[in-house]
């Protein structure tokens, strides 16, 4: 028994943690292949860093929601296992860096004591369910999407349909038609709507699918203007099943769902979704809308003496960081956290000092900050004084001055040039030269360390991503400048246009040129994107072109932001998309494990889950056999077809009407006991026959 084991409330979580510990030991002693282990750890939120021998741990926080006790728990764990720093992400997770792999089960167990998980925070899974930080308090919302986002997390975590897909899958809930969760860049984006029918108010969602950023951004397709709430989760489940079966698995650069829809066409994709309906575990799924009791601050508080050092700063903060809630008499407060990095000491001080004045419901925001909720107006000066004491009182929450940036080359394998260093330099330009931009919510600046858009540069009015340039025989860090992205509303958005690439050290000059030009030449009340459209891409290319001149290059231009050594681009292998497991022995082992999971699901009367585990066993077994013939297996549907082609004459494997039809019986039956029993039995027989085939020497491992 593990020495760190505690009596957790959830035996499933305890079992998962013990399993992770066993797998780490198997990997360490060489009995588990590295690629197979990598896939497993990623699905447990354990991500390899740029630095060898340490891990980034991604903590999965559905819609960024934190109780104060959970925030404190994470801070305490960061001190013990990481670096004493929390990193808030654009997907409302919290990341810890420089963690020992061997300590991860213990870390997870400690988190689980406060009902926090790292399960499926990375890897080819349904990632963190994001949601509007203002959900529940947004004056414009038709209803609160918070319980829907939470229910979506619970519905898909550990769900067998999405444990090992071709790529990651992202879902977001906006709170209103303002689309403040960017539905248009997600695999599934949802915007709440209501309609009147037969004298009743019916809840539903506008549904979009197939969006994504990365090197090739795609805007999502609207598939329903209004889908009733009880059909939303079954529909998403059917979409995931199609993505799992037909999605690319070899070329990970083409494996997101956006590429599958582009390949098949939206009409054919929709037809395949309908084909899955019969096999779904739920044809309707009603979200239990139990009114959750949120611990609100006491109405009667003995207010302590306070001292505000700068009344001017308080007024700026009050104007830019304080928001009226839909609940009468209450306000929300946004905290700017530069680069999304906050120390554990600051976290603990904030938790303790703010507790009397805020609800026990803090949200990590997509702009890498915090949103405090349910604050009485008379308590706002006290909240500000606390933030001022802890040096997190910057005005301009979610403004131009509030720059978003991924960690980039600080820790990420894919980073090309620094994103955090240039973000700090640009914030300094704004603070000292364009201080009024703290009042501007029209222009957002977002930065990524590479083209993959973890910093969401692809939907920014002003975006930058890390790159490199050549000057003679040397390479210097560079920035690709993008302009014109953003939210339109009602599920529509804009992807930013690439304009020009400049040396990274000239990023501040680029911002100065853009801001001075906009302030000088814009028309009355003309928004930045309207100005960009009026002037055109070529205008801005010409405006920034002088910054590309390398005739007067300085020695400092060859040193990236925050570094002392000469720049050398060193891009590792990214892990965000997990890996493709082509190891025959590992596949057969995994097929057996899937059948064990199927048996457990049967015992718990989870018929649909049991059937899907058996389906996965069929796929992995067939893939192992095909790989021995050096046949590329890039989709599950391709595996089924190829098995029929290459094993049709093998007497060991004989199926009426072929293997493909035999396995796809999964879609022809309701998920009931008799079919589940027969289907699992046939998957077991197939695996046993594959093992016999291997023992006879047909397989060489």
The two three-digit tokens of residue 283, written as one number: 């044809």
Find all residues with CB under 8 Å of 195, minimum gap 6, and list them: 201, 202, 204, 226
Q: Is 552 exposed, middle or buried (0-12, 13-18, 19+ CB in 10 A)?
A: exposed
Beta carbons of 386 and 326 less than 8 angstroms apart: no
Beta carbons of 556 and 503 less than 8 angstroms apart: no
Q: Strand 462-471 relative to strand 474-483: parallel, antiparallel, unpaired?
A: antiparallel
Q: At what angle do helices 11-28 and 34-42 cross, to 10 degrees?
A: 150
Nearest to 680 by CA among 608, 578, 589, 582: 608
Question: Please, which residues bridge with residue 130 across strands?
Answer: 172
Q: What is the pLDDT of residues 488-535, one digit of tens each?
A: 999 999 999 999 999 999 999 999 999 999 999 999 999 999 999 999
The pLDDT score that the predictor gives to residue 571 is 57
Residues of the chain falling short of pLDDT 70: 1-8, 290-292, 570-583, 697-701
H helices of 30-179, where?
A: 34-42, 68-81, 104-112, 146-156
The pLDDT score that the predictor gives to residue 250 is 83
Q: Compute the distance between CA of residue 565 and CA of residue 542 in angstroms, rounded to an integer.
A: 32
Nearest to 77 by CA among 63, 57, 91: 57
DSSP state of 126: B
Nearest to 493 by CA among 283, 274, 211: 211
Beta carbons of 405 and 390 less than 8 angstroms apart: no
The pLDDT score that the predictor gives to residue 347 is 98
Nearest to 396 by CA among 347, 337, 446: 337
Q: Which residue has the tokens 């889908």?
A: 227
Find all residues with CB under 8 Å of 316, minimum gap 6, and list them: 395, 396, 438
Q: Compute the distance between CA of residue 47 and CA of residue 124 in angstroms, rounded to an integer.
A: 12
Question: Please, which residues bridge with residue 132 across strands?
Answer: none
The two three-digit tokens of residue 23, written as one number: 């797998």
Beta carbons of 232 and 207 less than 8 angstroms apart: yes
Q: Compute the distance between CA of residue 240 and CA of residue 222 in angstroms, rounded to an integer.
A: 17
H helices of 371-419, where?
A: 380-389
H helices of 569-658, where?
A: 584-603, 607-628, 636-647
The pLDDT score that the predictor gives to residue 579 is 42
Q: Which helix (H) or strand (E) holds 464?
A: strand 462-471
Beta carbons of 84 and 97 less than 8 angstroms apart: no
Q: Compute the distance between CA of residue 368 and CA of residue 390 in angstroms, rounded to an integer.
A: 17
Q: Hey, what CATH topology would domain 584-698 get? A: 1.20.120
Question: Please, which residues bridge with residue 59 across strands?
Answer: 94
Nearest 5°: CA angle at 148, between 288 and 157?
95
Q: Hey, what CATH topology would domain 311-389 get? A: Sulfite Reductase Hemoprotein; domain 2 (3.90.480)
Q: Strand 221-228 relative to strand 322-324: parallel, antiparallel, unpaired?
A: unpaired
Q: Is 463 helix (H, G, I), strand (E, B) or coil?
A: strand
Q: Hey, what CATH topology would domain 11-112 get? A: Sulfite Reductase Hemoprotein; domain 2 (3.90.480)
Find all residues with CB under 8 Å of 636, minimum gap 6, and list them: 244, 245, 246, 247, 249, 619
Rounded to 5 degrees, φ, ψ at 580 are -95, 125
Beta carbons of 356 and 301 less than 8 angstroms apart: yes
Q: Is 233 helix (H, G, I), strand (E, B) or coil?
A: helix
For residue 230, the tally of other CB atoms under 10 A from its CB is 16
Nearest to 630 by CA among 695, 584, 693, 692: 584
DSSP state of 62: G
Q: Is 58 helix (H, G, I), strand (E, B) or coil?
A: strand
Q: Quick check: do 11-112 and 311-389 share a fold?
A: yes
The pLDDT score that the predictor gives to residue 581 is 40
The pLDDT score that the predictor gives to residue 652 is 80
Q: Where are the domains of the chain?
A: 11-112, 130-279, 311-389, 404-558, 584-698
DSSP state of 123: S
Q: Compute the distance between CA of residue 314 and CA of residue 542 in angstroms, rounded to an integer.
A: 41
Beta carbons of 391 and 342 less than 8 angstroms apart: no
DSSP state of 626: H
Beta carbons of 511 and 481 less than 8 angstroms apart: no
Tell me which CATH homologous superfamily contains domain 130-279. Sulfite Reductase Hemoprotein, domain 1 (3.30.413.10)
Q: How many CA atoms lie within 13 A of 454 on its CB side?
A: 26
DSSP state of 698: I
The two three-digit tokens of residue 376, written as one number: 């009485």
Instruction: Please check whether the domain covering 404-558 is classified as CATH 3.30.413.10.
Output: yes
Find all residues with CB under 8 Å of 215, minimum gap 6, and list them: 253, 451, 452, 453
């Amino acid at each position: 028994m593990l020495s760190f084991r505690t009596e957790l409330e959830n035996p499933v979580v305890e079992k998962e943690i013990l399993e992770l510990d066993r797998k780490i030991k198997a990997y360490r002693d060489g009995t588990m292949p590295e690629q197979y282990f990598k896939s497993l750890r990623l699905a447990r939120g354990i991500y390899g860093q740029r630095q060898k021998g340490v891990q980034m741990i991604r903590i999965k926080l559905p819609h960024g929601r934190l109780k104060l006790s959970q925030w404190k728990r994470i801070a305490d764990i960061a001190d013990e296992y990481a670096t004493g720093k929390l990193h808030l992400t654009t997907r409302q997770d919290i990341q810890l860096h420089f963690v020992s792999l061997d300590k991860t089960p213990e870390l997870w167990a400690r988190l689980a004591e406060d009902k926090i998980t790292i399960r499926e925070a990375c890897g080819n899974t349904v990632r963190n369910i994001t949601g509007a930080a203002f959900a529940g308090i947004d004056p414009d919302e038709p209803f609160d999407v918070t319980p829907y986002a939470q229910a979506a997390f619970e519905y898909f975590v550990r769900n067998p349909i999405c444990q090992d897909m071709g790529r990651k899958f992202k879902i977001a809930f906006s709170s209103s038609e303002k689309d403040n969760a960017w539905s248009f860049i997600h695999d599934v984006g949802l915007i709440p709507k209501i309609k009147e029918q037969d004298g009743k108010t019916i809840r539903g969602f506008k549904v979009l699918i197939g969006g994504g950023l990365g090197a090739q951004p795609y805007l999502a397709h609207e598939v329903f203007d209004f889908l009733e709430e009880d059909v939303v989760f079954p529909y998403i489940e059917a979409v995931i099943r199609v993505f799992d079966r037909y999605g690319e698995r070899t070329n990970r650069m083409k494996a997101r769902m956006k590429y599958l829809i582009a390949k098949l066409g939206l009409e054919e994709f929709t037809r395949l979704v309908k084909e899955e309906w019969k096999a779904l575990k739920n044809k309707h799924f009603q979200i239990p809308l139990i009114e959750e009791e949120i611990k609100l601050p006491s109405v009667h508080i003995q207010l302590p003496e306070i001292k505000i050092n700068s009344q001017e700063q308080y007024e700026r903060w009050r104007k830019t960081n304080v928001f009226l809630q839909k609940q009468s008499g209450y306000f929300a407060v946004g905290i700017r956290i530069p680069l999304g990095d906050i120390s554990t000491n600051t976290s603990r001080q904030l938790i303790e000092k703010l507790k009397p004045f805020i609800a026990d419901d803090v949200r990590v925001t997509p702009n890498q900050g915090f949103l405090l909720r349910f604050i009485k107006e008379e308590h706002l000066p006290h909240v500000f004084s606390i933030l001022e004491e802890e040096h997190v009182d910057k005005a301009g929450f979610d403004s131009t001055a509030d720059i978003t940036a991924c960690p980039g080359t600080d820790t990420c394998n894919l980073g090309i040039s620094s994103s955090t260093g240039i973000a700090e330099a640009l914030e300094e330009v704004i603070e000292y030269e364009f201080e009024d931009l703290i009042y501007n919510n029209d222009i957002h600046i977002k930065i990524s360390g590479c083209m993959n858009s973890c910093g969401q540069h692809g939907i920014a009015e002003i975006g930058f991503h890390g790159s490199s340039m050549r000057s003679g025989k040397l390479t210097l860090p560079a920035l690709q400048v993008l302009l014109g992205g953003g939210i339109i509303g009602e599920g529509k958005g804009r992807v930013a246009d690439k304009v020009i690439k400049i040396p990274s050290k000239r990023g501040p000059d680029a911002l100065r040129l853009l801001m001075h030009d906009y302030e000088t030449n814009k028309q009355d009340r003309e928004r930045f994107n309207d100005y960009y459209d009026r002037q055109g891409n070529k205008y801005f290319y010409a405006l920034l072109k002088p910054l590309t001149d390398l005739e007067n290059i300085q020695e400092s231009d060859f040193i990236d932001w925050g570094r002392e050594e000469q720049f050398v681009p060193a891009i590792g292998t990214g892990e965000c998309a997990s890996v493709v497991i082509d190891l025959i022995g590992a596949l057969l082992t995994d097929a057996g494990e899937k059948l064990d999971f199927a048996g457990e699901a049967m015992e718990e009367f989870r018929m649909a889950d049991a059937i899907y585990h058996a389906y996965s066993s069929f796929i992995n077994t067939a893939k192992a056999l095909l790989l021995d013939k050096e046949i590329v297996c890039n989709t599950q549907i391709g595996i089924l077809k190829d098995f029929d082609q290459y094993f049709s004459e093998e007497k060991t494997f004989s199926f009426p009407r072929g293997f493909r039809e035999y396995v796809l019986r999964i879609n022809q039956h309701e998920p009931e006991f008799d079919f589940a029993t027969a289907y699992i039995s046939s998957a077991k027989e197939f695996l046993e026959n594959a093992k016999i085939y291997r023992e006879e020497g047909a397989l060489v491992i």
